[in-house]
Amino acid sequence: MRLTRRSLLASSLATPALAQTPGGAFPNRPLRMVVPFATGGGTDVTMRLLAPKMAEILGQNIIVENRPGAGSTVGTDFVAKSPPDGYTLCLATLSSTGIAATLYPNLPYDPVRDLTAIAPTVFIPTSVAITTRGWNVRDLPAFVAALKARPNGYSYGSSGIGTTGHIASVNFLRHVGAQAEHIPYRGAGQSFTALLQGETQFTHDIPSLLKPHHEGGGLKVLYVNQDTRSTLLPEVPTAAEVGLPDYKAYSWYGIFGPAGLPPAVTARLNEAVELTLADPTIANRLNEMGTPPMRGWSPERFANYVRQEIVDWAPLVRASGARVE
């Protein structure tokens, strides 16, 4: 069952206490938050929205550092191998945990064993968008017909091999019985540029990032993969409304640290995330972006969820044929 069908309940929290560690009260110096994607994408935008409030709650600056590469696994691996003191964290995603576990036979970290799940941040419904340049395709039936008429004659972009957009696009093609070439880019910015210029024909991505280009006419969002119409794009139908079978096409972002974080530090960081997501200004902005906050999650619940995502996505990754050595 998709997370959109779950109730994301808020929990009431008292003012968080300082976490005591062998090095004294935590935190007592600035924190580094690694975003394992390029600037301008959903992870980057989200973390830079959350970081100032988290820093205010923790009483220390949070330095956001982009470390893209290898479908987000480079930055995630850097954090997995960092000291488990709570000062180096990452905003990992479904692609760098639930998908990467199966996609990379030689993944340099184990998403469960080598990372501490602290808290999820937002849930991400994804959408299919097509370019408006180079062809006269404006709806799903015409899009599918064009793909089938030229097997592998068209291409789609993503933020990298093994990202959620990549696997979701592969599974979309399997569902409609078509083929297309995958073009991985170093971030959503490059992928969007290629789509707007007509170098690629479609992509799976976040409604908030697609919205300005959809409204500007450079691309057309065909549907949003969630249960109800998006408040961002109310004129765009849901996947069910266009007759697509149910398939996984979503993501989520969550904050992780290296394995072995002291429980008090994990709890302190979890509280900081929860209070940040509860801030009305931030919550409203996240909802406006079409990425609802995932509140009320304990570290244990989040860790169990990550384990289940690895199990649930494994057959989809294998069926896609995607593999990174």
Model pLDDT, residue 16? 46
Mean pLDDT per block of 10 residues along the chain (325 residues) reads 38 46 80 92 93 98 93 92 97 93 93 98 92 94 96 92 84 91 86 94 89 93 89 90 81 96 98 98 92 96 97 87 75
At 58, the amino acid letter reads: L
How far apart CA 76 and CA 148 sit, in angstroms, is 37
**Region label for 24, one of left (φ > 0), alpha (ψ between -120 and 50) or beta (otherwise):** left
> What is the per-residue pLDDT for 4?
40
Q: Write down the pLDDT at residue 18.
A: 55
- All domains of the chain in start order, with CATH: 31-123+250-320 (3.40.190.150), 127-224 (3.40.190.10)
Please, are residues 16 and 257 in contact by the beta-carbon 8 Å criterion?
A: no
pLDDT number for residue 1? 36
Which residue in 69, 114, 121, 67 sits closest to 94, CA to CA? 121
User: Taking a C-beta distance cutoff of 8 angstroms, is the pair 64, 20 a contact?
Assistant: no
What's the CA dihedral at 229, 233, 235, 241 to 10 degrees? Answer: -40
22, with CB counted inside 10 A (0-12, 13-18, 19+), is exposed
Residue 288: predicted pLDDT: 86
Measured CA to CA in angstroms, residue 230 lies from 145, 209, 233 at distances of 26, 13, 5
Crossing angle of helices 42-58/263-278, nearest 10°? Answer: 110
Q: Are 323 and 108 in contact (CB under 8 A)?
A: no
Contacts (Cβ under 8 Å, ≥6 apart) of 260: 84, 116
Q: Which amino acid is at 286?
A: L
Q: Indicate the angle between helix axes 280-288 and 42-58, nearest 10 degrees.
A: 180
Whole-angstrom distance, CA of residue 308 vs CA of residue 324: 22
CA pair distance 72, 81, nearest whole angstrom? 15
* Contact criterion met (CB below 8 Å) for 110 and 323: no
